[in-house]
Amino acid sequence: MSRRHLGIFTAAVLAAASLTACGGSGDDSAASPKTLTYWASNQGASLEADKTTLQPELDKFEKQTGIKVNLEVVPWSDLLNRLLAAAASGKGPDVVNIGNTWSASLQATGALVEFDDATLQAVGGKDRIVPAALAAAGAPGKPPAAVPLYSMAYSLYYNKKAFADAGITAPPTTWEQLAEDGKKLTKGGKWGLAIEGANPSENAHHAFTFSQQYGGDWFDSAGKPTFDTPQNVSAIKRYVDFMAADKITNPSNAEYAQNQSVSDFANGKAAMLLWQSAGSNLKTQNMAADAYGVAPVPFLASPPAGGKKVNSMVAGINMAVFKHTKNKDGALSFVKFMTSDEEQTLLNKTYGSLPAVKTAGADPAFSAPEQKSIQETLVTTAAPLPQVPDESTFETLVGTAMKELFADAASGKPVTEQSVKAKLTDAQQKMR
């Protein structure tokens, strides 16, 4: 090989090599003790809306403590990756919002400050926090890796007018009824149920609930995955069948990953929606609060042996502090501020979620029909997702498998027990 060829070859090697050179990067942690960097999750209708909501509160905090908080609202599609990059690099924000289902996964990286009793005391005390919410903040038997911030649960949202027009008098309480009602509601370009079919996390949340109702589990007691059990196959098939068999869901929903299902519900294109705290989002899309009803998520009419009476996960947002922060005291005082009664009331009112501290529930806003339904579910029939280190991987793998099943259903391919099982077995084999 001549020198010239060597030159071309070297350049080709380097062009090819750029593939291996991918990696995460994070912003620099706040170096000065008088500033903090805070990554908020996207709770409102848009990133901008969240900034508008949060900035006045951050200004208030700065006035109280002299600590300036630099806010970045991170979209859900990026949040987990960004958190992982921050954990890996030891650079990035001081305080972050995390989906509560990721608590154990992120805890396992060892990058988050542990909220032992003393640390919890520093942010206001363990006794103030709603116990169910605290249980979803880390693996059992370990100090929580985060503090609950907003509490939510799934509800069934239904369009009152569409129900009345179809002669349906009450919201469905079983999945069988929901399918029946859905068929009555599916006509003239309108559909019974809207589903966020291409959003892995959303899919995985439903995978959990349905699996519980069928008596299944996604992990055994040792934390090992049990994805392709018959119960889980039935559970996933039941959910995907709303599109594949009952045909009460628009095939287009197989493409939805940017909350288009909420928009479809708000615009009357779909009459039912399973969602967490959809109210504030529906309001920004100009759907009046009296245009829709809120009911508990249905159950199976005749649950199989071992089926649990669970119709939602304990959903919520937690607040975590990175160990790499150079201003831990400031970060903890910010967590304390955000979980104070005043902020809890104000922020949860805005987002339509429920406070994660017991002392902030008195505001009349939290006894609106939607919030009462969420409260009811959280107290009686919600269960936390398994708090195991592989939880986030479960969401990705099973959620993606379901996305592919929805794609099959949408393009007219049959969705059978075999095809569901094959996808789940594949997903399980990718866990190591």
Minimum CB distance to another protein smaller for 206 or for 403: 403
CB 100 within 8 A of CB 276: no
Q: How far is the CB of 254 from another protein (least distance, A)?
A: 6
Q: How far is the CB of 404 from another protein (least distance, A)?
A: 7
Q: How far is the CB of 269 from another protein (least distance, A)?
A: 9
Q: What is the DSSP letter of 430?
A: T
Out of 31, 288, 302, 432, point to the residue binding another protein (CB under 8 A).
Answer: 432
| Binding track, positions 68-107, relative to another protein; x by CB under 8 A | ---------x---x--x--xx-x--------------xx-
Question: Distance between CA 139 and CA 145 in Å, rounded?
Answer: 8
Burial class (CB in 10 A: 0-12, 13-18, 19+), 339: buried
Q: How far is the CB of 328 from another protein (least distance, A)?
A: 17
H or E stretch including 337?
helix 328-338
Minimum CB distance to another protein smaller for 16 or for 118: 16
Question: Distance between CA 65 and CA 233 in Å, rounded?
Answer: 53
Closest to 30 measured CA to CA, from 70, 85, 65, 64: 70
Amino acid at 376: E
Q: How far is the CB of 411 from another protein (least distance, A)?
A: 4
Strand order in the sheet with 147-152: 68-74, 35-41, 95-99, 315-321, 147-152, 354-355
Question: Coil, helix or strand for 172?
Answer: coil
Binding status of residue 404 toward another protein by CB under 8 A: yes
Out of 65, 174, 226, 400, point to the residue binding another protein (CB under 8 A).
Answer: 400
Q: Which of residues 107-146 bind another protein (CB under 8 A)?
A: 108-111
| Binding track, positions 10-39, relative to another protein; x by CB under 8 A | xxxxxxxxxxxxxx----------------
Which distant-in-sequence residues (6+ apart) come within 8 Å of 432 by Cβ? none
Question: How many of the chain's residues bind another protein (CB under 8 A)?
Answer: 57
Out of 70, 285, 359, 393, point to the residue binding another protein (CB under 8 A).
Answer: 393
Out of 32, 267, 418, 425, point to the residue binding another protein (CB under 8 A).
Answer: 425
Binding status of residue 397 toward another protein by CB under 8 A: yes
Out of 62, 363, 376, 426, point to the residue binding another protein (CB under 8 A).
Answer: 426
Question: Coil, helix or strand for 427?
Answer: helix
Stretch that binds another protein, among 347-355, 360-368, 375-383, 403-411 (CB under 8 A): 403-411
Counting other chains too, the contacts that 342-350 makes at CB distance below 8 Å and 24 or more residues apart are: 343/57, 346/57, 347/53, 347/54, 347/57, 347/149, 347/150, 348/150, 348/151, 350/44, 350/53, 350/280
Binding status of residue 392 toward another protein by CB under 8 A: yes
Minimum CB distance to another protein smaller for 254 or for 274: 254
Binding status of residue 9 toward another protein by CB under 8 A: yes
Binding status of residue 222 toward another protein by CB under 8 A: no
Question: Distance between CA 79 and CA 75 in Å, rounded?
Answer: 6
Binding status of residue 4 toward another protein by CB under 8 A: yes
Q: How far is the CB of 340 from another protein (least distance, A)?
A: 31
Question: Distance between CA 99 and CA 279 in Å, rounded?
Answer: 19
Question: Coil, helix or strand for 99?
Answer: strand
Q: Which of residues 231-270 bind another protein (CB under 8 A)?
A: 250-252, 254-255, 257
Q: How far is the CB of 4 from another protein (least distance, A)?
A: 5
Stretch that binds another protein, among 66-74, 134-142, 213-221, 398-406 (CB under 8 A): 398-406
Question: Distance between CA 216 and CA 214 in Å, rounded?
Answer: 6
What's the residue count for the chain?
432
- The binding site for another protein (CB under 8 A) comprises 1, 4-5, 7-23, 77, 81, 84, 87-88, 90, 105-106, 108-111, 198, 200, 250-252, 254-255, 257, 389, 392-393, 396-397, 400, 403-404, 407, 410-411, 425-426, 429-432
